[in-house]
Amino acid sequence: MKTVSLTSILLVILLAPVTVLQAGDAGQETPFTLGAGAASLGMGGGYTSLAKNAAAVYYNPACLSYMDYQELSLMHTVLFEGTMYNFGSWVYPISDKSGVGLGFMRVGTDDIVRTIAFENQYSFGYSHSQFIIAYGHRLLKGVSLGAGFKVVNQSMDDNSVYGFGFDFGLSWRLCPHLALGLAARDIIPPKLELNDYKETTPYSLAAGASLRDIVFLGHSRLTLSLDLEKFEQRSVKIHTGAELSFYDACFLRAGYDRDNFSFGAGLKFHRLKFDYAYKILDYIEDSHNFSLAFFIGSSTEQRMAARQKHYVQVPVVEVVDERQKQFMQLKTKADYFFRQFEFDSALFYYELSLQYDPGNEEVLETIASIEQANKLEKEQQDKLHLASLEYHQFIERYYNQAQQFYEKKYYTAAKDMLGLIFEIEPANPRADELSARIENAIVAEISSNWQTARKATDEGQPVKAIEAYNRILELDPNNDSALAAKEKTLTSLDLSQQLNLGITFFKQTQYEEARQRLESVLKIDSRNPVAIEYLEKIKEVHTKPSTLEDLQKDKNIWNLYLEGIRYMRNKEYQKAIETWNKVLEAYPGNSNTLHNIEQARLRLESEKTN
């Protein structure tokens, strides 16, 4: 019996997870973070995508769909101060696509001596344990999903409390040698309250990748794994490791678990497998971990082959009538394929069976359900195809408009249209190539206009200099040097030059710039007839039919036009109509906007009728 004080032992037990696994950051972890199974611990615990044994109950329940054998596994670890860590699990492959497993984990210390007034009174124990029931099922294309329900218990002396938690797992076998995995543990966290001490188990997320069974040197195989694990309120931790196997009987392992190294070895003899892991730990003695696994019964492949042979070749019942016999044989085949989700083959055999029993309600109902499922799948595929077609049409339309803007040297508008493409398809080669050409053209034209502006200033042609500065600011609105130079030139103009500059900008269809110059003239000479005349002309321009280029010159209106396009693309037709109506308030006759509104209304009506 131990003679360690109660207070010391309780502090050791309560701080065990933090002390053993602390990595220099805040937050807490569960007492079971050490892991499950000596094979996984020898590889640093990087088992989220690799779990191929009974440890899948803990690391990733989705991997239960890949079990080769029914397996019973036991692990024992001595930690410190008499603290024991034990793990046991049993997994059973239901079929070649699904499996179920049970697991039990316990960390605790027994024979703790309670002392009162420095006298030993009696001994008791403290433990933290959890029972897990998990299931995994393989879907199409190597993707498996899994879930685990856990019952967590914390007990001290005669006090005991229970909580319930939930795990989720995903596994994706990209090819026979490459796999990815994702595990969310305690996403529904167990909540425990023992002697007024409340504790909620922190959730954790783990993502991993593995290369398995890479053959080299004849009968040797190499497996590599890497996991990233994130506990609530803790930084990301790394689990990585390697396993080298010889003749599928001897195993050598090494890994890096968070901040410590681990090593391991294993032996397999027929249906018995022994594994050992040595883990280096900070602040306390290094741990020795032992696992023993038993493989029970036939392999999953053998069981599935026998089951298929039974379903396909052996009639379910013996019947005297030959027609009924033929019907049952065909229906048995169809039922087998239906259970395997091979609906095309099932439908073929069901339809053949109706030749011998045309009115069989069970077969007719099953055929109807298959046809309904096929119909729904086709409708979904048609919708996906239509959406893809629409996106390609959007991309083609935006690219053509960008190309037209580029050819007309409306580089900013061209970049805006390419931006709409990149929102849909970030890696579009044609758009990338055109974007590069636009950037080169912008750099060249900015340089050219700087030369023009300097030359015009030197020759006493301020209007020409301001035109060049405006072009620079159109291509690069944040060019402070061009803005300062333009303002300096404008302040040097007299009334006559301001008026001529406004008329020049009007003739160049730069209406906003023309309006500013003409209004500056009226501030000095409020009755100037020429300025008033041209301001009236500017107002008339907005009431006449306009082009897309006209919208592009008005920054605020152009942004509204682009916003409407985004609403249209996202099938928010009412918002698109409302946005484009704001464009029409400024440019009532714009044909592009009117056409867009008409298309949006047609699609809105189509949605209502459907």
Asked if residue 557 lies in contact with residue 587, where contact means CB atoms within 8 angstroms, the answer is yes
3-class SS of residue 254: strand
Residue with the larger pLDDT of the pair 419 and 112: 419
Please determine, for residue 334, whether its predicted confidence score (pLDDT) is greater than 70: yes
Please give the radius of gyration of the chain, using alpha carbons only, rounded to the nearest integer.
38
pLDDT at 25: 62
The pLDDT of 297-301, averaged and rounded, is: 80
Kindly tell me the burial class for residue 117, based on how many C-beta atoms sit within 10 Å of its own C-beta (0-12, 13-18, 19 or more): exposed
Strand ranges (E), 258-351 = 260-269, 272-279, 287-296
- Encode burial over 518-556: b for 16+ CB neighbours within 10 A, e otherwise: bebbeeeeeebeebeebbeebeeebeeebebebbbbbee
Please determine, for residue 312, whether its predicted confidence score (pLDDT) is greater than 70: no
pLDDT at 542: 64
- Tokens, residue 35: 């892991």
- Tokens, residue 591: 């044909």
CA 593 to chain centre: 37
Spatial separation of the C-alpha atoms in residues 192 and 162, rounded to whole Å: 6
* Per-residue confidence band for 568, with pLDDT thresholds at 50, 70 and 90: confident
Q: What percent of the chain has pLDDT over 70?
A: 90
Return the CATH architecture of domain 6-300.
Answer: Beta Barrel (2.40)
Mean of all residue pLDDT scores within the chain: 83
Cα atoms in the Cβ-side hemisphere of radius 13 Å centred on 476: 20
Measure the CA dihedral 500/503/505/508, to 10°. -130
Residue with the larger pLDDT of the pair 275 and 532: 275
List pLDDT tens digits, range 346-383.
888 888 888 888 888 888 888 888 888 888 878 777 77
- Encode burial over 84-107: b for 16+ CB neighbours within 10 A, e otherwise: ebebbbbbbbbebbbbbbbbbbbb
Find all residues with CB under 8 Å of 607, minimum gap 6, and list them.
Answer: 573
| Sign of torsion over alpha carbons 491, 496, 499, 505 | negative
pLDDT at 16: 40
3-class DSSP string for 22-59 = CCCCCCCCCCCCCCCCHHHHHCCCCCCCCCCCCCHHHH
* Per-residue confidence band for 118, with pLDDT thresholds at 50, 70 and 90: low
* Per-residue confidence band for 272, with pLDDT thresholds at 50, 70 and 90: very high
Please determine, for residue 545, whether its predicted confidence score (pLDDT) is greater than 60: yes
> Smallest Cα–Cα separation from 434: which of 415, 413, 409?
415
- Which 8-state DSSP code applies to residue 64? G
Spatial separation of the C-alpha atoms in residues 558 and 551, rounded to whole Å: 5
